[in-house]
Amino acid sequence: MKRNLILSALCCLPIIGTLRAADFQSLEKTKAPMNVVLILSDDLGYGDVGCYGATKIKTPNIDKLAAEGVRFTQAYTPGSVCSPTRYGIQAGRYVWRNPRHHPTGVHAPGGCLLFELDRLTLAKLFQQQGYATAAIGKWHLGFGEADNPRFRYDFSQEEIKPGPLEAGFDYFYGMAANVGNSPMIFIENHRFVGRKPGDKVEMIGRATVKPWSPDAEYKEDHVAGDIAKKAVEFIERTPKEKPFFLYFASNIPHNNITPAKEFAGSSQCGPYGDFIQELDAHVGWVVEALRKKGVLENTLILYTSDNGGVLPQNERLVAQWQARQAGHLVCGNLRGGKHSIYEGGFRVPFIVRWPDQHAHGTTSDVIIGHTDILASCADLLGVKLPDNAGEDSFDALAAWQGNTKAHVRDSVILDSANGVFAIRQGDWKLIERNDELVGENNKVMKTNIENQNQLYNLADDPSETKNLWAEKPDIVKQLAELLAKARKDSRTRP
């Protein structure tokens, strides 16, 4: 029996704590498909919210999701920057398998659509099951059809496509990429918001978009609130009898740090803390909209981040530095942060809030990856993934449901912004030196401490302080062979 249709039976059971897998399989099918809301933060670190250790920043709404669901302590993004993770979530596939994405860094704001038009995405998965689908917020997965990672989209055209709608979303409202990237104009479906017939949009060079009027551009400190309101509107206007999948991609707390005026000074950590507390309020808006509509107890909520937080090394990153001086640790006690190959770049908050709270307050150390969202939602829907989709996606539904003994995947592969690879299996993490990055043309990586052969036991040394490469040759050999096989093969999912 498929576990996607469990909710009506759940509502009839007095459930306390975590259910066993057998309990789920014994439940009768519900009459109504479950709604799914995926909330993705931008550059939120492992230590940025209360339920993961933050004390100077208050996140009661996010903390409540954890208290009413499953909080994962070992959830991994596939990349330590955003577009690789966003692709991995939607495609269930490591982005380094995709020639449309540059092997290092992030996808260009005007880069091509990263999905082939016939590829199954998370949005298409729901769409094919009769769901209303919406992507609201930061896209950063490209526009236009091309196989060249150097391609740049011409935003002067009347219609902006292919893009989110062709990737499976019925509705899109948001930004092409980061708030500070051109075009700084909201896009709704296939058009710039407010653009009338005859309004001229100019391309200046390959990357700068000049709108028909300066007033067409959004105000940076309004963006987060504007897209959160659009997420609420989508929930409110979707017919109650129609199941929906909402992908709400907030821009918080990505630089620039621009909390709205009503949140300024609200935290003990300056603007960075204020910005995260604004994000927490937006999470509360979404939950309250679900409650008011009467669908909260028929909605699965996933909350996570696209990569680790930005670590300030000096005063240049003013907001993060101020938060650090106030005693806040963006990535907790993990080493590294955004861009890096270390744990702080990949290990992020991941919370699953189930209807009827049947996994109430569970903390799980099961290793899962963001690429697993596709296969897990397929199981939720009772759909079998085709062989040419979700190549690196494993079914984590049992773990999402609170089974702390569930086995999801044997290993997870990590790819830093600089093209350094790592693999984690069990307690061991191997970082492999990439010799292609140490030539004369890449002097930065030539001496980079990250691009060295390293091995860590994360159970004993979660902060990655003791390199055991020379002491554990058998483990090095085993993990290096596993990493090489995964990169040689076209998939890791059987």
CA 187 to chain centre: 21
pLDDT at 445: 55
**Within its chain, how far is the Cα of 303 from the centroid?**
8
Angle subtended at Cα 114 by Cα 341 and Cα 376, rounded to the nearest 5 degrees: 70
What is the rounded distance in angstroms from the CA atom of residue 288 to the CA atom of residue 229? 12
Q: Give helix then strand counts, H and E, for the chain.
A: 13, 18
DSSP state of 331: T
Enumerate the CATH 3.30.1120.10 domain ranges in the chain, comma separated.
Answer: 420-488
Tokens 């490469």 — which residue? 469
For residue 172, what are the β-bridge partners?
135
Query: Could you give the maximum distance between any two Cα atoms of the chain, in Å?
Result: 68
Do residues 95 and 83 touch, judged by C-beta distance below 8 A?
A: yes
Per-residue pLDDT at 360: 87
Cα distances (Å, whole numbers) of residue 462 to 281, 332, 346: 31, 11, 13
Residue 70 dihedral angles phi and psi, to the nearest 5°: -115, 125
- Give the fold, CATH level 3, of 420-488: Arylsulfatase, C-terminal domain (3.30.1120)
pLDDT recorded at residue 438: 60
**Residue pLDDT tens, the chain, 494 long:** 334 433 333 333 333 334 444 444 433 344 579 999 999 999 999 999 999 999 999 999 999 999 999 999 999 999 999 999 999 999 999 999 999 999 999 999 999 999 999 999 999 999 999 999 999 999 999 999 998 889 999 999 999 999 999 999 999 999 999 999 999 999 999 999 999 999 999 999 999 999 999 999 999 999 999 999 999 999 999 999 999 999 999 999 999 999 999 999 999 999 999 999 999 999 999 999 999 999 999 999 999 999 999 999 889 999 999 999 999 999 999 999 999 999 999 999 999 999 876 788 999 999 999 999 999 999 999 999 999 999 999 999 999 999 999 999 999 999 999 999 999 999 999 999 998 876 545 555 555 889 999 999 999 999 999 999 999 999 999 999 999 999 999 999 99
Q: What one-character-per-residue DSSP string does 51-115 give?
A: GGT-SSS--HHHHHHHHTSEEESSEE-SBSSHHHHHHHHHHSS-GGG-TTS-SSS---TTPPPSS
- CATH 3.40.720.10 positions along the chain are 7-409
Q: What is the CA radius of gyration of the chain?
A: 22
Helix orientation angle between 270-293 and 318-325, rounded to the nearest 10 degrees: 90
pTM recorded for the entire structure:
0.93
pLDDT at 439 (0 to 100): 52
pLDDT at 215: 97
Class of domain 7-409: alpha beta
